[in-house]
Amino acid sequence: MNEIGEFALLLALATALYGVVSYVMAFRSNRVDVFLSADKTPIIVWACVMVSSIVLWRAFMINDFSLQYVASYSNIDLDPFYKFSSFWGGQKGSLLFWTLILTTYMMVVHIQNRKQNIRLVPIALAVMMVIAVFFLVLLNFSTNPFEVIPLPPEDGRGLNPLLQNYWMVIHPPTLYLGYVGFTVPFAFATAALLTKNLDDGWIRLTRKWTLVSWFFLCMGNLFGAQWAYIELGWGGYWAWDPVENAAFMPLIVATAYLHSVMIQEKKDMMKVWNMSLILLTFVMTIFGTFITRSGLIQSVHTFDEATLGYYFLAFLGVIIAFAVTMILIRLPLLKSKNELDSFLSREASFLLNNLVLLGIAFSTFWGTIFPIVSEAFRGVKITVGPPFYNQVNVPIGMVLLALIGIGPVIAWRKASWSNLKKNFTKPVSVAAVGGAIMFPFVPLTDKSEIFTYITFILCIFVMTSMLIEFMKGTGARMQAHGESPVSALSGLVWKNKSRYGGYIVHLGVVLLFAGIAGSQSYSDDVEKNLSVGERFHLRGYDFIYEKLLVKEENSTKTRVIAQLGIERDGQRVWTGMPEKEFYKGQKQPVSEVDLISTLKEDVYMILADFNPDNSSATLKVYVKPMVKWMWLGGWVIAFGTMICVWPDRLEARRRVERLKRQEAIFMPAQE
């Protein structure tokens, strides 16, 4: 069976190569027969990669340790749930998984457009095929997941215990769905450059792809943070680790693109900028995989056998050279005759937001590559830690937060100072009152706490300006249509999905900012070595160390659990069970934290050490306020994005009418 999986990969590569050639030939020679032949390739390539993936999944499920990859990342006792996710637990499988998502997207693009006569599609599919070819070459000739061990072991080495967490089942696929999704707008942008179809057609065709990819990347980052928070046992969720940064940078550049592309749609300007941003987003996604797989930068997230750096570096070089050359060649066609009506307009605030976002992306990029740069120039690898990122990104982030509140209040095209003053009075007043009320209660002893205080004030400002937006819009609809408040509000959101869906996303971002600020600045922690029966106090909670339990889970896993009674105001509220898990064949034990999570605060308990002889334990407890706000913010973002991507019947109708009108003169109409 494994031979079939390996052979299917080879077939996928051959078919993808044929796909590239035949799509380009079909476009250049304008032949239907060649196009029909090429048009079979997305499905064939997807089917072949799917066959390979199923074969690999099967090998995990039946404990086929004759495959080196399965022997390295699974064992007999591994839970089937984690056997399933072991597929992407190592480099080889993760590349196959990436390719599976890429070819699935390719097939969806093919199906979406097969009945439409769009000039960009063959070239866009050819571009996607080229990218698939790169990954298939790696899978076939450099990092084959079907490599066989001549003498298979009786049991495998098992999956890294840190990856045996449900967030690690959800987080990588979500992140990959986002990373890979940006291939679609990149492919269409490249096709637009190659075919000189440089109006905003490619943007309209890929708008939803961009939004959905952005959403997955955003949720992937948040799920990763949740995994780090629960599984790594250090009380944090984000460490500005190079691999975390690698997932963060494309998200930031894509956010800039999502905003600036609206200006192109509305005003037919900023074509060079938008083209550059989407190409940069894609470059950042490949840079992310380069970081994870190059072995150049150390991180807990990199793969053990990170040896593909040069392949990715070469691929990155080719993409950047190609993108820059194409933009330079097409520069005369990309120039716009239109300009901003006023610098006091929403367009201008979007431009500022773009600069701020790119500032964050650049500082993160610089911090990420600094160890490589310092080693190249000074021979010493200097790692840049969280203080650098916080020092640079926190103030820029606060400007960004302010812009989230300012943008919606300013009118498109042109606003006046008097109206701005009028519209800003309420949110600024509410924020000022909120700040004054908070003042006696929040500590302001250092820079971090002052920044947090300002962030809270900005959050109130943004929330108020958003709520006023919703209220004004609802009021206008009630007046115009005589609707009830509820139906006016739902009608307002439903008829302007992208605008109000976007505002809801912004509300989620505000919750995210508040959660980050609160949990970073106002957390408390204590570490104690305790004998059974001893107790300690932290932020209104009493912790009583009750006993140490040792449980043999199975032949490969042993759990050591410290039982803690937690009291508040003399009442028992929780029984904490932080633990250490010992896995056969793994040198380091894994901490499993216990958590009481409320909107107000998280009580986070870690068993740092223990002595089985006298049952003493070293326990570390954090009380971190507002962590849950971040996760809640993620769900609000998800809800807002869902509204944005929900099919818009009015827009679809406009497109059909446009095509009908076009068809009356140019038969057949061609997009």
Partner 1 sequence: MTGANFLQLILVVLILMAVGIPLFSKLPPKRLFKPLDPDEEEYKHLLVRKEEVLLAIKELEFDFKTDKISKPDFEALHHKLEQEAMAFLEKIDDLEKQLKKRNKTSGAA
Which residues, 362 to 381, sit near partner 1 by CB under 8 A?
none
**To the nearest whole angstrom, how small is the minimum distance from the Cβ of residue 218 to partner 1?**
27
- CB environment 519-542: b (16+ within 10 A), e (fewer): bbbbbeeeebebeeeeebeebebb
Closer of 496 and 597 to partner 1 (Cβ): 496
Contact (Cβ atoms closer than 8 angstroms) between residue 541 and residue 568: yes
Single residue of 32, 151, 380, 486 touching partner 1 by CB under 8 A: 32
**To the nearest whole angstrom, how small is the minimum distance from the Cβ of residue 211 to partner 1?**
19
Closer of 341 and 525 to partner 1 (Cβ): 341
The one segment of 154-162, 474-482, 565-573, 620-628 that binds partner 1 by CB under 8 A: 474-482
Single residue of 77, 200, 483, 525 touching partner 1 by CB under 8 A: 200
Closer of 45 and 398 to partner 1 (Cβ): 45
Contact (Cβ atoms closer than 8 angstroms) between residue 608 and residue 618: yes
Strand 579-583 to 590-592 pairing: antiparallel
- One-letter identity of residue 70: V
**To the nearest whole angstrom, how small is the minimum distance from the Cβ of residue 26 to partner 1?**
6
Closest CA relative to residue 113, chosen from 177, 179, 187: 187
Closer of 572 and 653 to partner 1 (Cβ): 653
Report which DSSP code applies to 147: P
Single residue of 21, 40, 363, 559 touching partner 1 by CB under 8 A: 40
Q: Which string of DSSP letters, residue by residue, matches 65-129?
A: TTBHHHHHH--TTS-HHHHHHHTTTSHHHHHHHHHHHHHHHHHHHHHHHTTS--THHHHHHHHHH
Q: Which string of DSSP letters, residue by residue, matches 459-506?
A: HHHHHHHHHHHHHHHHHHHHHHH---HHHHHHHHHHHTHHHHHHHHHH
**To the nearest whole angstrom, how small is the minimum distance from the Cβ of residue 410 to partner 1?**
7
Contact (Cβ atoms closer than 8 angstroms) between residue 563 and residue 577: yes
Closer of 152 and 475 to partner 1 (Cβ): 475
Query: Which tokens go with 225?
Result: 């943070």
Q: Which residues lie closer than 8 Å to 657 by C-beta, 6 or more apart?
A: none
Which residues, 111 to 130, sit near partner 1 by CB under 8 A?
117, 119, 122
Q: Which residues lie closer than 8 Å to 160 by C-beta, 6 or more apart?
A: 73, 89, 586
The one segment of 7-15, 244-252, 292-300, 398-406 that binds partner 1 by CB under 8 A: 7-15
Which residues, 251 to 290, sit near partner 1 by CB under 8 A?
265-268
* Distance (Å, whole) CA 645 – CA 494: 11
Q: Which string of DSSP letters, residue by residue, matches 303-351?
A: -TT---HHHHHHHHHHHHHHHHHHHHHTHHHH--S---S-SSSHHHHHH
User: Is 44 near partner 1 (CB under 8 A)?
Assistant: yes
* Distance (Å, whole) CA 321 – CA 229: 39
Other Cβ atoms within 10 Å of 653 Cβ, number: 10
**To the nearest whole angstrom, how small is the minimum distance from the Cβ of residue 436 to partner 1?**
26
Closer of 572 and 661 to partner 1 (Cβ): 661
Closest CA relative to residue 605, chosen from 631, 637, 573: 573
**To the nearest whole angstrom, how small is the minimum distance from the Cβ of residue 276 to partner 1?**
22
Contact (Cβ atoms closer than 8 angstroms) between residue 620 and residue 608: yes
**To the nearest whole angstrom, how small is the minimum distance from the Cβ of residue 601 to partner 1?**
38
Single residue of 11, 95, 169, 177 touching partner 1 by CB under 8 A: 11
Single residue of 481, 551, 653, 654 touching partner 1 by CB under 8 A: 654
User: Is 501 near partner 1 (CB under 8 A)?
Assistant: no
Which residues, 129 to 168, sit near partner 1 by CB under 8 A?
none
Closer of 18 and 536 to partner 1 (Cβ): 18
Closer of 30 and 445 to partner 1 (Cβ): 30
Torsion of CA 504, 637, 263, 111, to 10 degrees: -120
| C-alpha distances in Å from residue 218, one per residue of 97, 181, 283, 508 | 19, 12, 17, 11
The one segment of 135-143, 159-167, 196-204, 352-360 that binds partner 1 by CB under 8 A: 196-204
Single residue of 21, 22, 97, 221 touching partner 1 by CB under 8 A: 22
Single residue of 155, 241, 347, 469 touching partner 1 by CB under 8 A: 469
**To the nearest whole angstrom, how small is the minimum distance from the Cβ of residue 420 to partner 1?**
9
**To the nearest whole angstrom, how small is the minimum distance from the Cβ of residue 129 to partner 1?**
13
**Would you give the binding string for partner 1 spanning residues 64-103, x where CB under 8 A is met?**
----------------------------------------
Single residue of 9, 24, 41, 297 touching partner 1 by CB under 8 A: 41
The one segment of 15-23, 294-302, 392-400, 617-625 that binds partner 1 by CB under 8 A: 15-23
Single residue of 15, 63, 302, 521 touching partner 1 by CB under 8 A: 15
User: Is 488 near partner 1 (CB under 8 A)?
Assistant: no
Single residue of 24, 34, 394, 431 touching partner 1 by CB under 8 A: 34
**To the nearest whole angstrom, how small is the minimum distance from the Cβ of residue 11 to partner 1?**
6
* Distance (Å, whole) CA 257 – CA 361: 13
User: Is 482 near partner 1 (CB under 8 A)?
Assistant: no
How far, rounded to the nearest angstrom, does the alpha carbon of residue 268 sit from its chain's CA centroid? 29
**Would you give the binding string for partner 1 spanning residues 389-428, x where CB under 8 A is met?**
--------------------xxxxxxxx-xx--xx-----
Strand 579-583 to 571-576 pairing: unpaired
The one segment of 36-44, 106-114, 541-549, 602-610 that binds partner 1 by CB under 8 A: 36-44
User: Is 7 near partner 1 (CB under 8 A)?
Assistant: yes
Q: How many CA atoms lie within 13 A of 626 on its CB side?
A: 18
Which neighbouring-strand residues pair with 469? none
- CB environment 552-561: b (16+ within 10 A), e (fewer): eeeebbbbbb
Long-range contacts of 238-242 (CB under 8 A, 24+ apart): 238/516, 239/386, 240/364, 240/367, 240/385, 240/386, 240/388, 240/389, 240/390, 241/299, 241/300, 241/301, 242/291, 242/297, 242/298, 242/299, 242/368, 242/371
**To the nearest whole angstrom, how small is the minimum distance from the Cβ of residue 482 to partner 1?**
15
**To the nearest whole angstrom, how small is the minimum distance from the Cβ of residue 665 to partner 1?**
5
Contact (Cβ atoms closer than 8 angstroms) between residue 174 and residue 219: yes
The one segment of 199-207, 540-548, 580-588, 617-625 that binds partner 1 by CB under 8 A: 199-207
Q: State the residues that interact with partner 1 by CB under 8 A.
A: 1, 3-4, 7-8, 11, 15, 18, 22, 26-27, 30-38, 40-41, 44, 117, 119, 122, 199-201, 265-268, 341, 409-416, 418-419, 422-423, 469, 472-473, 475-476, 479-480, 654, 658, 661-662, 665-666, 668, 670-671
